[in-house]
Structure formats: C-alpha cells, structure tokens
Amino acid sequence: MSNVILFNLTTVLFGVASALYLGALYAKNEKIAGFGTWACVLAAFVSTAALGLRWYESYQMGIGRIPVTNLYESLVFFAWAVNLFYLVVERKYGSRTFGAFVMPIAFFTMLFAIKNDSSIQPLVPALQSYWLHAHVITCFVGYAAFAVSAGAAVMYLMKARQEEAKISEGVTGLLPACRTLDDLVYRSIIWGFPFLTAGIITGAAWANYAWGTYWSWDPKETWSLIVWLVYAAFLHARITRGWHGKRAAVLSIVGFLATIMCYLGVNLVLSGLHSYGGS
Amino acid sequence: MTDANRVPSPMDRVWDFFTSVKLAIVTLIVIAVASIFGTVVEQNQPPEKYHQVYEDWAVALMDRINLFDMYHAWWFLLLLVLFTVNLTCCTLDRFPKVLKIVRNPRTKLDENLEKTLSLADRWKRKGALADWSAKYVEGLSSAFAKPRVTEEGGEVHLYAETGVASRFGVYVTHLSIIIIFLGAILGNLLGFKGYVNIPEGESVSQVPVRGGARVQDLGFTVLCNSFRVETYPSGQPKAYISDLSILEGGREVLRKKDVVVNDPLQYKGIWFYQSSYGQAGGARARLTVARPDGTPAGTLSLPPGEPVKIEGYGIVRGMNYDQNHEGHGPALQVAVEKPGQPQATFWLFQGRGDLDRLRKDSLSFSFEGLNAKLYTGLQVAKDPGVNIVWVGCALMVIGIIMAFFLSHQRVWVRLAQGQDGRVEVVLAGSASRNRLAFEKKFERIQTGVKAVGQ
C-alpha cells in the first residue's frame, strides 16, 4: 500500500535528520543542522500525506476510519506529532541543538512501527466510536510534548553538570543555557499536561459510554494516572524551593518513561482492555 | 502562617504540614508508585489463580496488605484522603491571600515593591508631572492595558494588569478534583453496576450486582427481542446488535432495535451496554407450513426433541439434524403424531418444501434452517454521580488552561518630581508565570511607553 511507502520514506527522513542534528553537534557546524531542519520539514509533509493517504485508502477498502486504531498507526501518529511539536519548538527557541535529542525519538518510534503489521484492518465493534478520535489525538499530542520535554531534560542535566564543573568545551558547550532548557522542559509539559488530562477524560467518557464505568483501575487507565501524577508532581516541584532545576528535570524524564510504559509497556507486558498491542 | 517571633504551636505545625507543597509532591509520587503494584498483580482474581502464580507465603502476605484489591484497600484510600486533605488545606491557606491580592492590588510602586521587581527601568523627562502622567496613562494603555491612577504625596502611580484569572486556575483545578471525588463517592453510594445475560425472546426485571450476592430490582422489565452479529467480508466481527424493549406493566414503553457497543440503551437512569453474547440452549429448527395447494399456513419453530402441537393436525417434533443427509445437504428429521395414528418420521431437506408435498398430507413442511438461539450479555449501570464527575472534568481542563496559559502580568509606573526639576519615571513589571516570555513583552512595553512624548 502506498501509504506504507510514504511512512517508510518518513522513517528515512527522520533518520537523516537525526544524523544531521547529531553530526552538527559533534562537528559544531550550525549549517549541517540547517539541513536537518529541511529533512524534518520534508518529513512533516511526507508523513502528513501518508496519514491522509492511509485514511483515504481505508475508505477505498470500504472500512473508512481514522488511521489511529492499532499499534502501527499509533506509533506513526506519535512520531508525526513529535516531529511537528519539535519544529514548533525549534522555531520558537531559535536553536537547532534540540533536534539531536528529540528527532532520534521519532526515528526509533518509526523503526519500531515498521516491525509491526501495517495492513489496514476494519474496526472491531469496541473501537467504533467518535470518542476514538478525541481520545487518541489528545493522548498522542500529550505524549509528543512529553517526548520533547524529556529530550530537553536530558540536555538540561548534561548542561547543568557542565555548568557546575565550569567547562564550556565539548558538545555541551553548544547546548542552550540551563535557563532556556529548563524553560523548554517546563513549557513542553504545560502543553502536554492539559492534553493528557483531556486524553484521560475523553477515555473515561468513552469507557462510560461503552461499558458504563468511567474508571475501573484497568492497567492502562492506572498507568495514565501514574503519568498524570508524575507530571502533577513536576508542576508542583517547579514552584517549590529545592525541587526545581535538576529534580524537576529528573521528574520529566521519569514522566516520559512512565508514558512509554503506559503507551507500550501495558500492552506488551500487562493485560488489559486496550487491544492494539495484544498480538 | 506563623509570626517569625512566635514559637509555632502544635496546631500551627499540623497546619504547616498539611499546607505544604512538598507534602503534595511526596503524596503524588507515593500514589503513583503504589498504583504500579495493582497493574502488575492482576486484581480481583479467584484465589486459585494467585496460588498458581505465586508461592503460598507470598499469596498470604499480599492478601494481608490487600494487594489483590489494592485500589479499594484501606491504605490506598488513606493515601487518597491524605491527598484530598492536603489539597483542601493548601487551597484554604492560599486562596484568601490570592483573593486579597486580586481585590486589593498594590497599585503603588513603593520602594519595597520596587526592590522585589527584577524588570525595571528608570528615566527622567523635562516638563510637568501632570503632563507626563497623562501621556504615560495613554502610552501604557496602548502598550499594555489601561492603568489605574493613584496620586499620593506628590507622586503619581500608574498600575495596569492582565490575566488576573490565571491566579484562580490552580484553585479551579484543585476544586475540580474534589468535585470528581464527590461525584465518584455519590455514584458508589447511590448507584450500582451489574451484568446480565438475556436469551432472545426472554426478559429480566432484576440484575445481579457486580462483586456481590445482591440482586438489583430494575423497577421495569427488559426484553431481548433478538440478537445478531454482523461480520465484515473477512469474517471479523463488525457489530454486535441487540434489539431490546423496556416493558412496564407488561406494556412496551421503549424499544431500541440497535443497541450496539458504544451505543447503549437508557431508561430511568439505568443504562444497558452491549457487552457480550453466546449460545442460549439448543438450536431451533425453522419450518414453514403449507396446505396441499401450496398456500402458506404459518411457521413453526422446533426446539430439539420437544413436541409442538398444531391444532387440528397433530404433534410435530424435531428429532435429528444432519448437516449433509445422504449427500443431499442439510436436513431435519421430524416425527409427526396424529390422533389415532402411529408416529411417522421422515427427513426434510433444507429449502425443498416441494419434496414434502409428495407425502400427500393435509399439511406439508419446508425446513428453512436452524436458528441458534443466542443470549445477549449486558452491562447494567446506574450512576447518579457521573454528571458531577463530568462537571469536575470540564472544570479541570478549564482550570489547567487558566493556570498555564494565562499569566497575571502587572506593570507599574511611578512619576515623581526630581531634585533637578525633571520628572523621574520608574517603570517596573512582573508576571506570575512564563517570565521569559514576559521579559520580551516588557521590553516592548518599555519601548512603547518611553517613546510617548519623545
């Protein structure tokens, strides 16, 4: 199917972008990173076209539905969102160094996606709901924001260590100032948090409409709550003396690890109501 | 709050403990970590299952700390209570102060306030104080927001603010959590959750309640008219469809022919959700009956082996079903007993009513196929607290957006007559959040205000 070809091309572009950003960092050459941005922009167009085409192809097959209903689709959608979120951040902060820490996340997500079944399957009865759209989109925009935040948090910890040691050489020398990184960690989360909240709420509303229970402590639900609690802790840590800076950055990374667990771990390791990783 | 020169009383210490944000962070993390256990250990399984997975001593230990139903364990509920108390105390402690700040803003930029503001600019202008203050009122209005003017002791203070609502975002969010909890408690106290199987053609007026021996009276009757499964061409299930009726006093008051997953039936606050299905009892054979001239005389539904009486004819019984009888396809063996005659048994090939007419009986039968009788499995729920929960959820989203996407930005201008006859101007500002962005905005305000009258 042609959408899969476009997604494969997207994967290559993400790989190229990651390599260029990392290369730019090590070669200390801003120009190389500029090419990385172009790869990202191109990937944004290609992946958006791929999503649209996949949606269209599902209608061609007579089972038209939004392309966010199984593991493959959710992974490519997540990578799509990470890339877009990253491009906005790059533009807003005027720094391309983030790319080296964020784009590999999109690249590895696509690599993982390719290993999964990419065929378009019809929707099982449980997924036939308008809540599906709102639930999946809000969740994944939230996840993408958390991915960017975690990337920035890693940079923050590297930079903070370097600032403490008062060295300005090496790769970390090119990283933006701690203050900027801390700001990005925080600002990504304040975008991700309302989306995650909306994702949990739309999930609860959907569960209530499908099963008559808005909360049943299913592992997926519980892990989404864990993610929410970690970021809630982060947001409170930011305003508490002795908890901002490094500890907040660590919480951002822990939050993203919990997000990965919620997204993939629950399906691959635990049992529950969300079917897409079950096979 | 305790005065600095007073030894805090035990009561103050308790209050300080419960109003601390550190407690909030620790509680959030502890609840998060504790929640993990319940996702690793499957909840509410029969004891045999746990014994298969874990050693006996481990099962005993886990049972002791309620790990098999941990989200309802006393210690987990205690954590939630601690979380709620902390949340409430923090709100009660801080909300009045914020309200005070909002109601009585510091409209004068005195020296104490000036020292706390990192964003400030000072300059001097030749001319009259009144002229410049009028000009800067206008300048601040166009660069930021319309200021309040306070004149005191020969000084003129301008104060302008935007995004006051952001101060309340936190409290709206906190309140929303308490509202959600209240809705959940109300639903638990006044509602019920149950599950029931209804075979096609049958009805129920009571539902067994989940996780208990109790049976809930519905106050009306639910009839399952029929159930069917639709499939995609590939054979994957496309829809599970129940045709349900609500009966009151034996009369149908509501019918929904397509109760499917994600589209429940609701009556008097009780919801019925399509949840499962299965085979109910044996299959029934479908027969059409005709007179010798071929005119139809009705239909028959034969349960396996049970006699069905036809007035003025006799008793018909479905005996055996063969998927491929003597190589001619599916067939049903029936036995007919007429008064005063020996029982006759014969085979009816599916869809071949013409063959049975050769029997030259007063009625002939045509076997149309087997009808497997199905039951529909319905989740049944009544939750009078659910709308309160949704109100809480809506407030939570609104509160979070208010808290994170609005910023309480304040700008002060002080004008005073200086020693040298010139007007001394101080411009200062602060923002409750997103200070980095406000710095840029402050620069624009600075440029805008300074440019006035130049």
Segment B106-134, tens digit of pLDDT: 999 988 899 999 899 999 999 889 899 99
- Which amino acid is present at A179? R
pLDDT, position B4:
54
The answer to whether B193 contacts A271, with C-beta atoms less than 8 Å apart, is no
pLDDT confidence tier of residue A67, bands split at 50, 70 and 90? confident
The answer to whether B9 touches B16, Cβ cutoff 8 Å, is no
Instruction: Give dist(CA A154, CA A250) in Å, integer.
Output: 8
pLDDT, position A171:
67
Instruction: Give dist(CA B174, CA B98) in Å, integer.
Output: 15
B350 secondary structure, DSSP code: B
CA distance A69 to chain B (A): 15
Least confident of B24-38, B162-176, B206-220: B206-220
Q: Which of A96, A177, A204, A189 is nearest to A147 (CA)?
A: A189
The answer to whether A194 contacts B401, with C-beta atoms less than 8 Å apart, is yes
The pTM of this model reads 0.83
Chain B residue at shortest CA distance from A242: B22
Mutation pick from B39, B86, B266, B432 vs chain A, by most beta carbons of A within 10 Å, is B39
Count of alpha carbons within 13 angstroms of residue B253, beta-carbon side: 13
Is residue B363 over pLDDT 90? no
Q: What is the sign of the dihedral through the CA atoms of A87, A91, A92 and A95?
A: positive
Least confident of A162-166, B133-137, B349-353: A162-166
Residues of chain A with CATH 1.20.120: 1-118
Kindly state whether B22 is in contact with chain A, defined as any CB-CB distance less than 8 angstroms.
yes
Instruction: Give dist(CA B132, CA B418) in Å, integer.
Output: 13
**Facing residue for B29 by CB, picked from A213, A215, A233:** A233
Chain A residue at shortest CA distance from B381: A212
**Facing residue for B275 by CB, picked from A129, A205, A211:** A211
The answer to whether B383 contacts A223, with C-beta atoms less than 8 Å apart, is no
Q: Which two tokens stand for residue B76?
A: 């987990």
3-state secondary structure of B452: coil
- CB contacts, 8 Å: B386 with chain A: 208, 214
CATH among 3.10.450, 2.60.98, 1.10.10, 3.40.50 for B189-281+375-394: 2.60.98
Mutation pick from B28, B170, B186 vs chain A, by most beta carbons of A within 10 Å, is B28
pLDDT confidence tier of residue A86, bands split at 50, 70 and 90? very high
Kindly state whether B440 is in contact with chain A, defined as any CB-CB distance less than 8 angstroms.
no
Residue A95 dihedral angles phi and psi, to the nearest 5°: -130, 135
Query: Quick one: average pLDDT of A29-47?
Result: 93
CA distance A242 to chain B (A): 10
- Identify the CATH number of the domain defined by range B105-163+407-451: 3.30.310.80
pLDDT, position A242:
73
Angstrom distances, CA of residue A106 to CA of A35, A191, B73: 17, 18, 40
Q: Which of B56, B68, B147 is nearest to B452 (CA)?
A: B147
- CB contacts, 8 Å: B381 with chain A: 212-213
The answer to whether B437 touches B405, Cβ cutoff 8 Å, is no
The answer to whether A211 contacts B273, with C-beta atoms less than 8 Å apart, is yes
- CB contacts, 8 Å: A229 with chain B: 28-29, 31-32, 35
- Which amino acid is present at A99? G
Tens-place pLDDT, residues B419-435: 888 999 999 999 987 77
Supply the mean pLDDT for chain A: 88
Mutation pick from B98, B262, B267, B380 vs chain A, by most beta carbons of A within 10 Å, is B262
CA distance B163 to chain A (A): 17
The answer to whether B21 contacts A210, with C-beta atoms less than 8 Å apart, is no
Q: Pseudo-torsion of CA B413, B417, B418, B421, nearest 10°? A: 130
pLDDT confidence tier of residue A275, bands split at 50, 70 and 90? very low
pLDDT, position A168:
62
**Facing residue for A210 by CB, picked from B25, B28, B261:** B261
The answer to whether B22 contacts A243, with C-beta atoms less than 8 Å apart, is yes
Least confident of A237-246, B78-87, B120-129: A237-246
Chain A residue at shortest CA distance from B271: A212
The answer to whether A183 contacts B436, with C-beta atoms less than 8 Å apart, is yes
Instruction: Give dist(CA A118, CA A75) in Å, integer.
Output: 11
| In the block, residue with structure tokens 């979120």 | A85
CATH among 1.10.357, 1.10.3470, 2.40.400, 1.20.120 for A1-118: 1.20.120
Instruction: Give dist(CA B270, CA B281) in Å, integer.
Output: 28
